[in-house]
Amino acid sequence: MNLSMKLVALGDSIIKGVLFTQEESGRTHYSLADHNIADRVAAALNSEVVNLGKMRCTIEVGERILQRHLDQLSDAKYILMCYGGNDSDYDWKAIAENPETNHKPKTPLGVFEKTYARIINTIQTMGYTPLILSLPPMNAQRYFDFFTSTFNEIQKKNVLRWLNGSIETIWAGHELYNDAVKRIANATNCQLIDLTNALGDGNGYLCSDGIHPNTAGQSKIASSILKQGFVS
């Protein structure tokens, strides 16, 4: 095949193409989509793809991955990136055990912004074009049900108390990092692919855990990237 360009993908499980499945028996498991977002975009562009996405990847882990694989960026035209979902998340087990403690996200917001901007600067200095994905929408109730599925009733009540009685507080924290991604893209003059525009409230496009795009969601995101992110 005569490939016309090269696409490199960096980020978390969204980029990796992770799916969360709950079977009728109640058993749950993760798997990888046969054709993830980067695969779909690359196929449409007749492009080689290098996917460096990693499940549970935070921005600081992502920077280390980038530094280890700078050689793989060679000849790339676009660098597709998605970070923030893991950075904005919490150690929910610790919260369930001690809701009175001041718990913080896995990556403080200021560290997230500075590190993401530094990654983008590294890529731009090398002459490549970053394409930044916003965070996909989340379903806070589904996500709460997912991460508390192994908690007892006291632990669930502890988490809810820490959330000030509202599960939607999870969504609010998620949106803080989503807004940060948009600010970073604007400040660094990067193309932003807004996944809220692509997926709306996520209805029909999310796995049962409330956070991972399902196959339809991944297809929709790829279409949005092709529509918003590339010029002929």
**Position 2 confidence tier, pLDDT thresholds 50, 70, 90:** very low
Which structure tokens are listed for 67?
């530094």
Q: Fold for 5-229, please state it.
A: Rossmann fold (3.40.50)
List, for residues 6-43, the tens digit of each pLDDT value. 999 999 999 999 999 877 777 888 999 999 999 999 99
Residue 78 has pLDDT above 50, yes or no: yes
Q: What is the pLDDT of residues 204-220, one digit of tens each?
A: 999 999 999 999 999 99
pLDDT for the residue numbered 230: 62
The model's pLDDT over 122-154, given as tens digits with 9 standing for 90+, comes to: 999 999 999 999 999 999 999 999 999 999 999
Contact 90, 105 (CB under 8 A): yes
Plot region of 193 (φ>0 → left; ψ -120 to 50 → alpha; else → beta): beta
Tell me: pLDDT of 231 over 80: no
Q: Are 116 and 188 in contact (CB under 8 A)?
A: no
Q: What are phi and psi of 156, to 5 degrees?
A: -60, -45
Spell out the domain ranges in the chain.
5-229
